[in-house]
A and B are shown apart, each in its own frame.
Chain A
Amino acid sequence: MHVHRFEKLWFGASLVLIVAFVGTIVYGAIGPGVAMVGDDGGTIEAAAVSDGNFEQTENFREPGVYESTDGDGVDVYIVARQYLFNPGTAEPIEVPRGEEVTFHVTSADVTHGFNLAATNVNTMVIPGQVAKFDVTFEETGEYGIVCHEYCGSGHHTMAGQLHVVPQSQFDTTAEGEN
């Protein structure tokens, strides 16, 4: 097979580029530790979520913000449904700065999205699945939560807020208990 010298050079450079790209992702995962959504949130009965029977489920609790069971950080349980986040829409979700926040997000009806606007806190919310991921917010501030997956004719009204507050302030406003 006849391949021109320049083509061979280009072929080799392309392969190096591709391997380098994959390398950056591997570095991002094990270096800075970018957390990604996997299957460790487990599955859930969609009917139990829509009926609010959370005591029947092993991997989900009444929506709210809880001190983590191991005493380190907080757990946030969020249910998305047409067209609100609970909690998030009616009142902002409050989480402490500098602690590991573990999100557990699921849906009561159709597929939704959950994105803190302009950040990489971003997950699909699929009925029957619990999206579980960790975030540590280093600064206080307010984030908009947006549903980015079309979920029905009122999709554009589905939004919420998340507030990152200093730890001292958070302790007095925690919704959940252990």
Chain B
Amino acid sequence: MATGHPDDTATHSDEEYVETAEGTRRRRAFVDRYPEAAQIVRICLGISFVAFAGGALFGLIQALHRTNVLRIIPSSDYYTLLTGHGVLMVLVFTTFGIAGLFQWATTRSLDREPPSSRLTAAWLGTITLGTLLAGGTILAGLTDAIPASADVLFTFYAPLKAHPLFYVGAALIIVGSWLAGASYFLQFREWRSENPDARIPLQSFMVLTTMLMWYISTLGVAVEVVFFLIPWSLGLISQVDPLLTRTLFWYFGHPVVYFWLLPAYLIWYTVLPKLSGGRLFSDPLARVVFVLFLILSTPVGFHHQYTDPGIASGYKFVAMTNTFFLLLPSLLTLFTVVASMEHGARQRGGTGYLGWLKALPWERPAFAGIALSGIMFAAGGFSGMINAGMNINYLIHNTLWVPGHFHLTVGTAFALTLMAVSYWLVPQVTGKRLQWRGLAAVQPYVWFVGMVLMSNAMHRAGLAGIPRRTAEPQYDQFSFQAVVGSVVEMRIQIAIGGTLLFVGAVMFLAVMLATWTLGKSNSQLRVNGFLPEPMSGAEDSPRVLDNLKLWVGIAIVLVALAYGLPLYDMVADGVLSPGSLPVPA
């Protein structure tokens, strides 16, 4: 969008170089235009990739261990690595990756640098400190020399107890993400004071609605950790109510998946159409989708507790209805993404009902990765509908089906999108051309094949009743019977798939490392940050969509309706009762 800035063409034209008044050519990449923001994006992505490397290694060891292919750790340490894999992947890799993407999107769409370097330092420092504390206590569990451990998994339910520093670290990661959000809002407020009547730029709108959803939903885990788990792990209170703390965890535990998914959607809506060679189909509907997520994301957490005693079925049914209506924004996204890709393909000369698919740039890693992650997410959406169904959920609850599902959502929709967009974005924030392009072009396909093998086998293993979160492939007292195929074949697929995913992760990290170290500053980038206008722009949408206060108000009312009575039921007999002592004591 034109902003009237004198250097407006710098990021709003698809030419990589611009003629200056003196007649010389000047590059106009994101890093040239916004050096401060580019540095923040580099720091965030750098930390995110390091966490990804650790998480990927832990994932490989687990996949080989529980399929009995290669066992280099005792089974009791499996859970330490599982905790590490979960926390590194779904808290650290995602949070830093999202912070990087959002800093880029906010800065680009508002056309201004971040408001305060002190605030930036504060949020970066807080999340980093939290990561070191949580990660350190997890790794300490691998050695007896340090009297700390946190083998409690990413779903850290009481009364299994971790070292207090683990909970402090988790809290700091969340608080840091709040401060990052404050920075985006300040950046927006500065823009608003200069543009009182303009529509909120689309990317900024997406960042702000996602952060508002995040503020509402993280309240649950913040209360759980600060008021219950930290005092309890320090011995200040002797007991906590396991059901209450578990409920507070899941109040946050489902919206957190939208905190990962919405940044991927931001890329799908604003970058994928350009990479396809076209334009976004509709700006107004994109706004409707993000508003729907803001409103509906939080009052759905009970669908993780369908099999929990102590919660009346009626409350579960309310949450289920809400969960199914969350399908709506994702189904709308499916339409828009496919329509935008088709539009792009036809601009590139594609024809026919399906023949246009061949005209898409499948050889380019950024496009291929994002498109493949969208395809995998569609499959993940279908298994998610099973999870959401109150009665069929009983067949697959806590079986391998569930990790099969979320390796398609966070493990592909988010992770592969972030990797793919990095092939396009990292050159713009470093000023260095992408290196080892051949390796990069193959990488999304390696990830795709690995995930197809691992995920389909996990889904089927879940139907056979094989549980998640266990170090052993078999039990002494009985054996699992496959519904389709055989249990041994599923194990082989999981092992091969997990290995391919690790190879895909290493390929990605190698390309990033090469770009960062071998690439020359001020080189020709061969990419640009220009994002074309949507076919149907913001002017086609009602202004009420930009009224964020209204949507937050509705979101809070819905949360109160969904959680008010059940939480009252749980605390009516006392907030710490029925209580449980910590284990280990």
Contacts and interface: CB of A to CB of B under 8 A. Distances in A.
Interface string A108-132: 0111010111111111111111111
A166 to B, nearest CB: 21
Nearest to B75: A156
Contacts of B243: 126, 128-129
A123 B307 contact: yes
A154 B385 CA distance: 33
Given A25-B320, A146-B467, A152 B310 contact: no
Given A25-B389, A110-B159, A144-B480, A7 B311 contact: no
Contacts of B70: none
B391 A36 contact: yes
A118 B480 contact: yes
A10 interface: yes
B332 A10 contact: yes
Contacts of B335: 6-7, 10
B321 A156 contact: no
A22 B321 contact: yes
A128 B469 contact: no
A141 to B, nearest CB: 11
Contacts of B466: 117
A144 to B, nearest CB: 3
Given A44-B578, A156-B472, A39 B569 contact: yes
Range of interface residues on A (Cβ < 8 Å):
35 or more
B151 interface: yes
Interface in A1-52: 1-4, 6-7, 10-11, 14-15, 17-18, 21-22, 24-25, 28-29, 34, 36-39, 41, 43-46
A39 B311 contact: yes
A72 B469 CA distance: 38
B465 A18 contact: no
Interface in B275-305: 281-282, 284-285, 305
B253 to A, nearest CB: 14
Contact of A38 (B242, B313, B321, B336): B313
B109 to A, nearest CB: 21
Contacts of B468: 148
B465 A39 contact: no
B354 interface: no
Contacts of A22: 320-321, 324
B478 interface: yes
B339 to A, nearest CB: 8
A5 to B, nearest CB: 12
Given A1-B540, A123-B307, A150-B469, A128 B578 contact: yes
A11 B332 contact: yes
Interface in B529-585: 536, 540-542, 569, 573, 577-581, 583
B327 A2 contact: no
Nearest to B471: A156
Interface in A133-178: 142-144, 146-157, 159-161
B150 to A, nearest CB: 13
A144 B398 contact: no
Given A109-B583, A117-B478, A29 B327 contact: no
B406 to A, nearest CB: 16
A75 to B, nearest CB: 16
B415 to A, nearest CB: 23
B399 interface: yes
A126 B478 contact: no
A46 B583 CA distance: 13
Chain A CB count within 10 A is highest, among B79, B336, B468, B477, for B477
A113 to B, nearest CB: 5
B27 interface: no
A29 B391 contact: yes
Contact of B160 (A38, A45, A111, A142): A111
Given A38-B316, A156-B470, 17 more contacts: A1-B540, A3-B285, A14-B331, A25-B391, A25-B392, A36-B391, A38-B311, A110-B583, A117-B478, A118-B483, A123-B307, A128-B242, A128-B243, A129-B242, A155-B469, A156-B472, A160-B477
Interface of A: 1-4, 6-7, 10-11, 14-15, 17-18, 21-22, 24-25, 28-29, 34, 36-39, 41, 43-46, 82, 89, 105, 109-111, 113, 115-132, 142-144, 146-157, 159-161
26 contacts: A1-B284, A10-B335, A17-B331, A22-B320, A25-B389, A38-B309, A45-B578, A105-B309, A109-B580, A110-B583, A111-B242, A115-B398, A115-B465, A117-B466, A118-B481, A122-B394, A122-B395, A128-B310, A129-B243, A129-B310, A129-B578, A144-B465, A148-B397, A148-B399, A155-B470, A157-B472
Which 5 A-B residue pairs are closest in the complex by CB-CB distance? A117-B465, A128-B578, A144-B478, A118-B465, A148-B467
